[in-house]
A and B are shown apart, each in its own frame.
Chain A
Amino acid sequence: GAVVSQHPSRVICKSGTSVKIECRSLDFQATTMFWYRQFPKQSLMLMATSNEGSKATYEQGVEKDKFLINHASLTLSTLTVTSAHPEDSSFYICSASAGILRAIYFGEGSWLTVV
């Protein structure tokens, strides 16, 4: 079946630095990918929709200049957290959709800790 892979699974960075998280679709081409954020013991919140070859669409309240999304190919989307702060520490999860799949499959998530 379809598989979505994220890297890194865990990352620790210093305040003020930037960190990049990759999301890859392994078995299919994903015209659309989605980035979610999840705080401990809370639900997933959609941050943005990543569209191949065009700009990402951000949900209300998500800073597009802080969370840079690039979807340069049909199998890769990247989320870059710029000028990271401790409050950005969270579990970031991506999902990928080829349209018909309706974004069913998720990556394993990436734990970000900003110190």
Chain B
Amino acid sequence: GENVGLHLPTLSVQEGDNSIINCAYSNSASDYFIWYKQESGKGPQFIIDIRSNMDKRQGQRVTVLLNKTVKHLSLQIAATQPGDSAVYFCAAPLGGADGLTFGKGTHLIIQP
């Protein structure tokens, strides 16, 4: 089955610096990945997604990179702001269904 996991449970960065959050997956057949941001006590908020036919996708201040060779994806946040403090999850569909399996999450902490 799908296994999506994150490398680091906590990431601390200085305000204004760039943040990079990593995620590894085990199912080479996975064709769709999503990054979510979850603030304390709230539901996950969609950030950006990427399909396996792409290796990079950019949004507003965020970039997702996908390396299918090593089954790794990353979320890059440019010029990190205090409002970026949250737990970030990568997720991928479970097998052929639309339900998602989530990674363990990385808690991004912004240092002033």
Contact B42 A102 (CB under 8 A): no
Contacts of B36 in A (CB 8 A): 106
Contact A106 B98 (CB under 8 A): no
Chain A residue at smallest Cβ distance from B34 = A104
Cβ of A97 within 8 Å of any chain B Cβ, yes or no, is yes
Cβ of A105 within 8 Å of any chain B Cβ, yes or no, is yes
Known: A43-B89, A49-B99, A103-B100. A93 touches B94 (CB 8 A): no
Which among B34, B42, B104 has the highest number of chain A CB atoms within 10 Å? Answer: B42
Cβ of B43 within 8 Å of any chain A Cβ, yes or no, is yes
Known: A43-B104, A43-B105, A104-B34. A32 touches B43 (CB 8 A): no
The total of Cβ contacts below 8 Å across the A-B interface reads 58
Cβ of B41 within 8 Å of any chain A Cβ, yes or no, is yes
User: In the complex, A42→B87 CA distance in Å?
Assistant: 10
Contacts of A59 in B (CB 8 A): 99
Cβ of A88 within 8 Å of any chain B Cβ, yes or no, is no
Number of B interface residues at 8 Å Cβ cutoff, please give it. Answer: 22
Contacts of B44 in A (CB 8 A): 44, 93, 106
Cβ of B102 within 8 Å of any chain A Cβ, yes or no, is yes
Which among A57, A105, A106 has the highest number of chain B CB atoms within 10 Å? Answer: A106
Q: List 13 A-B contacts (CB under 8 A).
A: A4-B43, A34-B98, A42-B105, A44-B89, A44-B102, A45-B102, A46-B99, A93-B43, A103-B93, A104-B46, A105-B46, A106-B36, A106-B45
Name B's A-contacting residues (CB within 8 A): 32, 34, 36, 41-46, 49, 89, 93-94, 97-105
